[in-house]
Amino acid sequence: MSCMLLPPGGGGNPCPPDCLPICTDEMDELRHTGWRWISHQLGLDGSKESPVKQYIGVVRRTDGLPFYATIAAPPCDEDAPSDDWRGAFYAPFGFFRLCGTLRGHAGDDDRYLLEVDAWLEAEGRAGSGLTAARWVIAGPHPKVRAPNRAALLQSIEIRSSGPHDDDDLRSCIALHAPNAVWGDPRSVVAQQCGVAAACLIEAVC
């Protein structure tokens, strides 16, 4: 549990913001609440073996600031992820929550697509001035070994800019999302969760 980190509550605490553990009750609440949300979003009814596994811990925003989240992704113990997989993330921030779903799938023989749908919601409802966006990233297929590896932003749809300017949201997502696509699905979901936290909450890079 040493990886469960909690920023200090203020008051001149000399500890860095990534050194304090959270209690098991808070961890259990994040696990159970997050899994209920993830199960609903991914259409998991519990009647068959789940294609995803839940992970819980600290995710870092693009500026390095840590926050707690629970994510779902295909199990890491598989030899290679499926060509078509889904994942999700859930992170509570006081009165609102950061939520999102992902899908990774082959676009053609050489191209791989990652579709991310992320939003902020309060009281179980998205919208009402809260931020929401979808973006698609195109990169090399994981099976393709090229001398240089890079990903391109294929599209951005700002569904709700909330208090932000659309251009700020677009530039923030465009800057960070293509760099957060490397590694196994668990890593990709965590990285895109960090991108969503930086872009949708503050939208300032």
Distances in Å between the alpha carbon of 45 and those of 39, 48, 109?
7, 8, 33
Helix (H, G, I), strand (E, B) or coil at 160: strand
Does the pLDDT at position 10 exceed 50? no
pLDDT in tens, 66-125: 999 999 999 876 555 567 899 999 999 988 999 999 999 988 777 889 999 999 998 756
Q: Which of 9-18, 158-167, 180-189 has the lowest mean pLDDT?
A: 9-18
Q: What is the pLDDT of residue 111?
A: 84
Mean pLDDT of the chain: 84
Note the pLDDT tens digit of each residue in 24-79: 999 999 999 999 999 999 998 766 678 999 999 999 999 999 999 999 999 876 55
Query: Residue 2's pLDDT is what?
Result: 33
> Rounded to two decimals, what is the model's pTM?
0.85
* pLDDT of the residue at 14: 44
